[in-house]
Structure 1
């Protein structure tokens, strides 16, 4: 196996390097093309995936048939953690936004490795933080103007990318669903951000040119 780079995001970024290396060594490498589904909502959680390259999106199907974009994640993410802990079904669908490489290992083996490094408590804290993060976001968005909602979601989805060019491979409809807005309202706000030189939009692609400018919108309103 090639040398494993230290992740900077996700559960992998929170673990000591020996633990992350142990997870990768115990896994089987899998490659995913753009649009491939890594795990599907409702499936049983028999394994986890440790993402080492590429970006993924996390979506959830609602009872009314709509699909909500929950997150965009990058290297260091461990897919399927909650199902691995409780043995339940997947709570969301994970899809490749870029070409991805991930290492698959059985849920029991994943838990055993973390237990061996005495990291079970850290795993639980990570899961709780993620759940609380989602709850806090919904509460915060409800209090923001349309412009600040869009800025907040763009910054959130760009957070997994450490490259100098911040590109998010999502559609305006997905952004609208995540922000709790209509597509028309999101399109209007993106148009204003384009005129201000903060973003460039394309088909299923948003490039953020000025993160500091977006942060000012979020903080100052």
Structure 2
């Protein structure tokens, strides 16, 4: 079995809802935490839903802004939510794209303190909003939910640790190559030895994730294309040689 087949196979169980995306050395860990509520019984899920407020939110809308006071969390049931940080100079970096099963709004889930990053809706989403007071009440009266909450926060911590490790130890070229591998693993459609990435990606979006400029991303993608690693068109991006692209990260 090739490296491509092994890694993609490990992610297929998340195909129905789509995997979260962030910079990580191990794409198979991307969706850790998506099932953090799985230990709850049906009646406990019903109690959880009764405590929350379901909301449908259109793409582009903000859930919270950097500096806002923590007020609660949003459980993602459909769509994608992006978390991002804006530096004092105005430079923006995308931290992650979160998909169904994940939540955003931590780490101060009981409320208080200030958000250190922002979240907006990347694709039209349906979320369940739980205030900090409701979360505290559920944690105090439902032990299984309290354990779920801790496990969810642990998973988040690991996600952001993986991101920091990539940003701190990998060159921007390696980060871009790894990001393309991640998108190929999570949303690639197999065509022979090629993987057609079925997620619409702009150079601005790629730049915001790897911490580069749009111009640099365009130039580097062109270099990858000339070497036969990928092909780029207005419609899609295709990984032509998965193993050679992966080798860009293993150097």
Counterpart-to-counterpart distance in 2, 1:211 and 1:56: 30
The residue that corresponds to 2:230 in the other structure is 198
Question: What count of residue pairs does the alignment treat as equivalent?
Answer: 211
Q: Give unpaired runs (5+ residues) of structure 1.
A: none
The 4+ residue runs of structure 1 with deviation greater than 6 A are 5-8
The residue that corresponds to 2:246 in the other structure is 216
Q: Give unpaired runs (5+ residues) of structure 2.
A: 1-15, 20-30, 190-195
When the two structures are superposed, what TM-score results if normalisation uses the length of structure 1? 0.75
How far residue 174 of structure 1 moved from its aligned partner, in angstroms, is 3.6
Match of 1:15 among 37, 50, 53: 37
Q: Secondary structure at the match of 2:166?
A: helix
Quote the RMSD (CA, aligned, Å): 3.4
Which range moves more in the overlay, 132-141 or 67-76?
132-141
The residue that corresponds to 1:135 in the other structure is 164
Match of 1:150 among 162, 176, 182: 176
Counterpart-to-counterpart distance in 1, 2:210 and 2:77: 28
8 Å contact from structure 1 (residues 28, 105) kept in 2: yes
Match of 1:71 among 86, 96, 100: 96
After superposition, the C-alpha distances for 1:150-196 in whole angstroms (9 at most, x for unaligned) are 1212344677x568574445532342243233332210222344563
**Structure index of larger Rg:** 2
- Change over 3 Å in CA distance of 1:182–1:150 after alignment to 2: same
Q: Secondary structure at the match of 1:98?
A: strand
